Amino acid sequence: MTTIDQPGIATAKVTPHQLPPRRYYPFAIPALVLMACVIIFPWLFTLIMSVMDFKVGGAVEFVGLSNYIKLFSDERFLGSVGRTFWFTLLAVIFPITLGTAAAVIFHREFPWRGVLRTIFIMPMMATPVAVALVWTMMFHPQLGVLNYLLSIIGIAPFAWVYDPNTVIFTLVLVEVWHWTPLVMLIVLGGMAALPTDPYDSATIDGATDWQMFRYITLPLILPYIMVAVVIRTIDALKVFDTIFVITQGGPGTASETLNIFLYLQAFQFYNLGYASAVVVVFFVIIVALSLLLLYMRQRMKWNA
Amino acid sequence: MSNRVESGGIWRKIGFGFSVFALVSPAILIFLWMISLSLKNELDNTAYPPVFIPNPPTLANYFEVFEKNNFLLYFWNSILVTGGAVLIGLLVGVPAGYGIARSKAHRTAVMILIARMTPALSYLIPLFLVFQILGLIGSIWALLITHLVITVPIIVWVMIGYFEGIPQELEDAAYVDGATLWQSFRYIALPLARPGMMVGAILAFIFSWNNFVFSVVLGGKNSRTLPSAVYNSLTFEQISWGPLAAAALLVTLPVIILTVAAQREIVAGLSAGGLKD
C-alpha cells in the first residue's frame, strides 16, 4: 500500500473502522434495479423462449428441449462455434502481443510522443461500421488499394474477404487494427505505476533491455495484461459490426461466427425460439470463459 | 520518468524510430485513405492503379451525403440516444461503482462484468418483443433504454476500479469527524474520482455512439442512429465509393474529435490508477 503525501491530510494513523458492507448497498441499488430491467429480465425471457417454438407471426408452442437438441446437430451452428473460437484466439493473441510492445515503446520518452500516441489510439475510437466500409473498399480484389500496395513490393494479389481460406485472417486484421490500442492503454496504465529502483540496480548489474523487460517489467504488468486479455476475449467473442458489414458471414458461411448466426436466425429468419436457444448456449460459453479468466486474474493479482 | 531512449548508438535510435513509425502508420494510412476517397470523384476512386492524392479535391461527395440522406436527423438521433444513455449511466453508475468497491461485493462486480460480456444481440430478442408490445419500436426511447446496456456497465466497471484506488483511510478520517456515509461519498470520494468519471463518460459515449446493431434491429426509418443509417443507405441504393467514404468519415468524426480533445483524460485516467503515483 502506498501512503499519500498530501498537505492537509492527517498522516496520523486513523483506526480503520470497517463499516459493514451492507451499509454501502444502497449506492448500488439504482444501477442494479436498472440492470435487472434491461439485462436480467431479457435473460429470463430468453430462457423461457428457448423451450418454445416461436416464429414471428406464428403460434407459440412449448417444445421442451428440442431447440437445444436440434442445435447440437445443426452443422451450421457447430461450425459457427468453432469459427468463433478460432477468431477469438487470433483476435486476442495478436492485439495483446502488439499492444504490450506498443506500451513498452510509448512508456519511453521521445519527441512527439503525445501526438503519436493520440494517432495510435484513434482506431479504437473510430466507429467500427464506418471503418469497416472503408476496409471493404480496400479489400476489393481488382480495384482495392491493398492489392495495389502489395503488387508494388512484388506480392501476388490476395482475395482477402472473398476467399473462404483468408476471410477469417482478414477480419482478424481489421480487429487487430481496431483494438491493439486498447491493450496498449491498459498495459501503459500498469507501467505508469512501475517502481524505478529495480531498473536502476539492474542497469548497474549490466542487464540488457530484454532481461529487464522479461524479469522486471513483465511480472509487474502481468495483472494488467490479464485485464486486457479478459476484455479482449469478451469483445472478440461478440464481434459483430465488422463481420456483418464486411462479409455478412460469407463467402458461404466461411466467416459466420456465433453472433452472425444468431442475428440471421433471430432477425432474418425470425426463428425467435431457436435463436433464444443459441443465446443460452452463447451465454454458457461466455460465462464459463469469463469466470475462468477472472479466476486467473485473481490468481495473478495475488502472485504479483 | 525513468526510461529514456539512451543516447548510446545511432542504430538503436533509428530502430526505435522505425518501430514508432510501424506502430502509427496503419492508423494514419486508413484515415488518410478514407479522406482521400471522400475527396475524389468516382472516376478516380475506381481507377487502377489507385489515385492517391485527389486532383482536384472535390466536396461533391459531402454535398451528396447531405442532399440524398436525412443526415442531420440521424445525427440528432445519435446525439439524443448517446447523450441520454451516458447521463443516466453516470447518474446510476457512479454511486454503484462506489458501493460495490467499498462493500467489496465482488459478486455484484462479476454480474456487471457478465452484463458487459453478454453479446448485445441477446438482449435484442426479448427487448424487441417488449418494445413491440409497448409500441416503442421505431421510437428514440427504445434505443435510449437499450443503450443503457452499454453505458451503465462501462461506467460502473471504470468506477469500481477508480474507487478501489482511493484509500479508505481518507473516508475513515471523515467518519471520525462525524461525517455520514453519503457525505464522505459526496465530498471525499466523488471529487477524487472525477478523472474516473471523465474516463467512464468518454468511453461510454464512444461505445454508445459507435453501436450499430441496436439501431439495426430497433431503429425505425426516423429513429435510426448514424451508423445504421449509413449502412442502410448503402444497401438500399447502390451507392458509390466517394459518398460512402464521406458519410463514413462524418459518422466517425465526432468520436475522433473527442479522442483528440480528451486523449489526456483517457490516457491519464487509465494510467493513473487512482492516487498511486
Task: Summarize pLDDT for B67-102 with one digit per residue, the tens.
Answer: 877 888 999 999 999 999 999 999 999 999 898 888
Contact (CB, 8 A) for A216 and A286: no
Indicate the SS3 state at residue A248. coil
Percent of chain A with pLDDT over 70: 91
Q: Is the peptide bond prior to B56 cis by the omega test (within 30 degrees of 0)? A: yes
Cβ-Cβ contacts under 8 Å, B217 against chain A: 267
Report the pLDDT value the prediction gives residue A101, as an integer from 0 to 100.
94
Cβ-Cβ contacts under 8 Å, A109 against chain B: 1, 3-5
From A279, A261, A249, A287, select the one nearest A74 (Cα to Cα). Answer: A261
Nearest CB among B4, B27, B234 relative to A123 is that of: B27
Q: Mean of the per-residue pLDDT values for chain A? A: 84
Report the pLDDT value the prediction gives residue B112, as an integer from 0 to 100.
67
Q: How many of the other CB atoms lie within 10 Å of CB of A14?
A: 16
Residue whose grid cell is 526510461: B3
- A11 — pLDDT class (breaks 50, 70, 90): very low
**Count of pairs with CB atoms under 8 A, one residue in A, one in B:** 303
Report the pLDDT value the prediction gives residue B28, as an integer from 0 to 100.
93
Cβ-Cβ contacts under 8 Å, B183 against chain A: none
Mean pLDDT confidence for B141-146? 92
List CB contacts of B236: < 8 A, sequence separation 6 or more. Answer: none
Report the pLDDT value the prediction gives residue A129, as an integer from 0 to 100.
92
Is the pLDDT assigned to residue B54 strictly greater than 90? Answer: no
Indicate the SS3 state at residue B52. coil
Is the pLDDT assigned to residue B1 strictly greater than 90? Answer: no
- CA–CA separation, B249 vs B243, rounded Å? 10
List CB contacts of B115: < 8 A, sequence separation 6 or more. Answer: A35, A39, B149, B152, B153
Mean pLDDT confidence for B195-205? 87
Alpha-carbon torsion, ordered B6, B11, B12, B17, to 10 deg: 110
Mean pLDDT confidence for A141-169? 86
Report the pLDDT value the prediction gives residue B271, as an integer from 0 to 100.
52
- C-alpha R_g of chain B: 23
From B229, B212, B236, select the one nearest B124 (Cα to Cα). Answer: B212
The dihedrals phi and psi of A54, each to the nearest 5 degrees, come to -140, 110
Report the pLDDT value the prediction gives residue A9, as an integer from 0 to 100.
44
Is the pLDDT assigned to residue A10 strictly greater than 50? Answer: no
Report the pLDDT value the prediction gives residue B86, as an integer from 0 to 100.
96
Report the pLDDT value the prediction gives residue B7, as an integer from 0 to 100.
53
List the beta bridge partners of residue A55: A271
Is the pLDDT assigned to residue B272 strictly greater than 50? Answer: no
How many angstroms separate the first and last alpha carbons of chain A? 13
Cβ A27–B210 below 8 Å, yes or no?
Answer: no
Mean pLDDT confidence for B133-140? 87
Dig out the grid coordinates for B152 from the structure.
Answer: 451503465
Indicate the SS3 state at residue A81. helix
In angstroms, the Cα distances linking A180 to A185, B26, B42, B131, B206 are 9, 11, 33, 37, 17
Higher pLDDT, A222 or A58: A222
List the beta bridge partners of residue A54: A60
Cβ A125–B258 below 8 Å, yes or no?
Answer: yes
- CA–CA separation, A172 vs A288, rounded Å? 23
Nearest CB among B117, B126, B181 relative to A46 is that of: B126
Cβ B181–A19 below 8 Å, yes or no?
Answer: yes
Q: Mean of the per-residue pLDDT values for chain B? A: 82
Contact (CB, 8 A) for A253 and A79: yes
Nearest CB among A27, A101, A192 relative to B95 is that of: A27
* Complex confidence, ipTM: 0.83
Mean pLDDT confidence for A221-229? 85
List the beta bridge partners of residue A60: A54
Report the pLDDT value the prediction gives residue A18, as an integer from 0 to 100.
65
Report the pLDDT value the prediction gives residue B110, as an integer from 0 to 100.
66
Cβ-Cβ contacts under 8 Å, A276 against chain B: 125
Nearest CB among A42, A121, A241 relative to B263 is that of: A121
- A283 — pLDDT class (breaks 50, 70, 90): confident
Cβ A272–B129 below 8 Å, yes or no?
Answer: yes
Percent of chain A with pLDDT over 90: 27
- CA–CA separation, A187 vs B90, rounded Å? 25
Report the pLDDT value the prediction gives residue A37, as an integer from 0 to 100.
81
Task: Print the SS3 string covering A66-78.
Answer: HHHHHHCCCHHHH
Is the pLDDT assigned to residue A66 strictly greater than 50? Answer: yes
Is the pLDDT assigned to residue A8 strictly greater than 70? Answer: no
Indicate the SS3 state at residue B132. helix
- CA–CA separation, A228 vs A187, rounded Å? 8
- CA–CA separation, A141 vs A250, rounded Å? 15
- A300 — pLDDT class (breaks 50, 70, 90): low
Is the pLDDT assigned to residue A205 strictly greater than 80? Answer: yes
Report the pLDDT value the prediction gives residue A116, as an integer from 0 to 100.
92
Is the pLDDT assigned to residue B252 strictly greater than 90? Answer: yes
- CA–CA separation, A189 vs A286, rounded Å? 26
Cβ A9–B93 below 8 Å, yes or no?
Answer: no
List CB contacts of A175: < 8 A, sequence separation 6 or more. Answer: A87, A91, A95, A236, A239, A242
Cβ A143–B46 below 8 Å, yes or no?
Answer: yes
Let me know the angle formed at the C-alpha of B182 by B177 and B188, rounded to the nearest 5 degrees: 65
